Amino acid sequence: MERIAEKMKPSCLYLPVSSAVLILLFFSSCDFIRMKKNDLQGNNRKAIARVNNALLYQDDLKGIVPEKTTKDDSAARINAYVNSWVRKQLLMQEALKTISIDEADVERKVQEYRYSLIGYQFQNYYIHQHLNDSVSETEIETYYQQHLDNFILKQNIVRGTYIKVQKDAPRIKRIKDLMFSVKEKEIAELKSYCLGFSAAYHIADSSWIEFDKLTVNSPLADIPNKIQFLQSYNYYETNDQAYLYFLKVDGYKIIDNVSPLEFVRQDIKNIIINKRKVELAKKLEDEVYENAAKQKDFEIFDK
C-alpha cells in the first residue's frame, strides 16, 4: 500500500572537505596507513602485501573490521582493503615515475587535510555538547518574515484529499461523500477505507504537498496546464484502465508565489539549527585561540 508523504529536504552542511585535497592525498607518498619502505628482513612486523618497496603490514589493518563482524565478512573487508591498497600504490608509484611531483606541496596539503579532519571531529564533539536544538515558533516566524524572498515556490502545492482505488473496489459511490464530510466519524471511515482498499491516498490536513508529487502515476500528472486546472476545479474525478482517481482541493498555491509558512517550517528550523552549529564552531575556534594567547602557547616570529 502506498501512502503519499512530504519529501524531507536535507539540511545544510558545513565544513566541506576539498575534493582536490583528497586527490592530492591519494597521490601522496605519506599514506594513511604509514606504509613502511623497510625490507622484509630484519623487521618484526608481519607484511601481508608489497608493491615494489612499499609494504602493507598486518597491524596496519587495525580498525578496518568492526567488532562482532562475522568471519566471512571480516575476510571480505580485509581482502577488499588490501586490493584497494595495492591498486592505489601501483597508481601512485606510476605517477611518481611519470610526472614531476612537488613533494613539499603534497606533504603540506596532506597536513592541511589531517588538520581539517581532526578539527572537524573536535568541532562535532563540541557542537554535540553545546547545541540547543529547540527552535521556538517565534524564531521560525521571524526568520520566515525576514527572508520571504528565499521561499518563492518553484512548484504548485495543494492542501486536500487524493485517493486512488481499483475499479472493482467496494463502496466506490461512497468515496465522494466521505471526502466532503466534516464529521469525525466519517473522516475516520474514509481513513479506514483508504487503508483497506486504496492503492495510494493522501487525507486532507493542515499540511501542504507538491501537486506533482500528489498526483504521480495518475492521469492528473499529464494535465497540460496545471495552474488553470487548480484555478478551475476544487473536485475532480478521472480514471484509466485499472484505477479510479478522486481529488478534492481545499487550497492551493502556484509557482512564483511565496510559500506558506507551514510548507517550509521544517526547512526553516533546519536552517536555524545549522546557523547555530556554524556559530558554535566559530566560538570554539575563537576560544581555543584566545586561551592559547593568554597562556602564551604560540608565537609568530618576524618573517
Per domain, the residue ranges of the chain are 19-110, 137-145+260-292, 153-253
Residue 1 is predicted with a pLDDT of 40
CB 123 within 8 Å of CB 283: no
For residue 225, what pLDDT band results from cuts at 50, 70 and 90? very high
CB 166 within 8 Å of CB 119: no
For residue 29, what pLDDT band results from cuts at 50, 70 and 90? very low
13-22, 59-68, 244-253, 284-293: range with lowest mean pLDDT: 13-22
Does 26 score more than 60 pLDDT? no
For residue 43, what pLDDT band results from cuts at 50, 70 and 90? low
Share of the chain above pLDDT 90, in %: 72
Does 82 score more than 60 pLDDT? yes
From the list 184, 170, 167, 187, the residue with the least C-alpha distance to 248 is: 187
Q: Copy the grid coordinates of residue 174.
A: 461512497
Distance CA 144, CA 206 (A): 18
Kindly report the backbone phi and psi dihedral angles of residue 204, in degrees, each rounded to the nearest multiple of 5, phi listed first.
-55, 135
Residues in the chain: 303
Residue 36 is predicted with a pLDDT of 44
Over range 160-171, report the average pLDDT.
96
Over range 96-116, report the average pLDDT.
91
Residue 212 is predicted with a pLDDT of 95
Whose grid coordinates read 525576514? 146
Over range 161-185, report the average pLDDT.
95
User: DSSP characters for 100-164?
Assistant: ---HHHHHHHHHHHHHHHHHHHHHHHHHHHH------HHHHHHHHHHTGGGGB-SS-EEEEEEEE
Helices within the chain (DSSP H only)? 19-27, 71-98, 103-130, 137-146, 175-180, 184-197, 211-214, 226-232, 261-294
| Sign of the dihedral through C-alpha 223, 262, 10, 3 | negative
41: exposed, middle or buried (C-beta count within 10 Å: 0-12, 13-18, 19+)? exposed
Residue 167 is predicted with a pLDDT of 95
Does 46 score more than 80 pLDDT? yes
Does 284 score more than 60 pLDDT? yes
Over range 17-36, report the average pLDDT.
43
Does 40 score more than 60 pLDDT? no
Greater confidence (11 vs 184) lies with: 184
Greater confidence (138 vs 43) lies with: 138
